[in-house]
Amino acid sequence: MKELGRLLTAMITPMKEDGSVDYEQACTLANKLVDSGSDGVVVVGTTGESPTLIRSEELKLFAEIKNAIGDRASVIAGTGSNATAEAIEATVQAEEIGVDACLLVVPYYNKPSQEGLYQHFKAIAGATKLPCILYNVPSRTVANLSAETTIRLSRIDNIIGTKEASGNFEEIAKIIGAVKDDFRVWSGNDGDTLPLLSLGAYGVVSVVSHLVGKQMREMIEAFLACDIKRASRIHNSLIPLFKNMFITANPCPVKYALNYLGFPVGKPRLPLVEPDEASAAVIREVLTNSVIDLPIP
């Protein structure tokens, strides 16, 4: 299996003025993210506005971005759904395109039981040879993937990790302590990255790496080198970004930030809208007081 990397960026989906997907800008952004330290990109995740993209747009994004970055970095396709058959179809199509792995979100809205969650992910994994990453984000899905179910799923050969955005460190520690050494746990919240690394997590699926990828990589590398003071210093310096890139629904703040910094990515699709002026002012202030390392012309 290809090494997917410790620093993965949950990539936004750039849009044109008419609201259509800007595939050219998406490819440019993907390469810039790799240049600034990302080992891979997650395409069509929550940050990529998956709820408002249609399948043809998703598949074209997978293909265009994989072609654009080649073997420089991994491409993880967001193919999850709350309908198992739909998730299987999307995952099979992404595999045919040649992505490196898939990200499978916990089914939303229909609130399956833990047994239902197990059977859902087992069925998707059984339909593909792709490495599968679970994605637990109960703030978005309502349903929570328990530690026990995650541990059970980790025994399926091609379920190779989980993106944990629950914020429940006790449950995440339970997962890390019970799974095989090669089962990866990525933080799903930027601010949780350093604490979860200390519990044995592998890395992060990041949003702020759109802006400070080099610093996120430096923090992870400092921790791995046992330079805890340096890692903590970087973490502490990034807290304002960790907080204010989620001042309103993701990805509205980070899209606003990229546009403000001179890298046009368009507006979010309805029902998401740009931050109101009060939130935008906070974002501008934190950007002014931060060292941004995304290479923007």
What is the set of active-site residues?
A: 135, 163
In contact, 129 and 100? CB cutoff 8 Å: no
Taking CA atoms, 172 is separated from 35, 141, 186, 218, 263, in Å, by: 31, 18, 10, 23, 36
Buried b vs exposed e over 91-130: b needs ≥16 C-beta within 10 Å? bbbbbebebbbbbbbbbbeeebeeeebbebbbebbebbeb
HSE on the CB side for 261, CA within 13 Å? 24
Dihedral over Cα of 90, 124, 176, 226: its sign = negative
User: What's the one-letter identity of residue 30?
Assistant: A
Write the CB contacts of 70 (distance below 8 Å, at least 6 apart in sequence): none
User: What's the one-letter identity of residue 201?
Assistant: A
Write the CB contacts of 146 (distance below 8 Å, at least 6 apart in sequence): 114, 171
Closest residue by Cα to residue 78 from 35, 20, 140? 140
Helical ranges in 127-208 per DSSP H: 138-141, 147-153, 169-178, 193-199
User: How many Cβ atoms sit within 10 Å of the Cβ of residue 2?
Assistant: 10
Taking CA atoms, 290 is separated from 83, 235, 236, 251, in Å, by: 41, 13, 12, 19
- Examine residue 268 and say whether the peptide bond preceding it is cis (omega within 30 degrees of 0): no
Tokens of 177: 């302590």
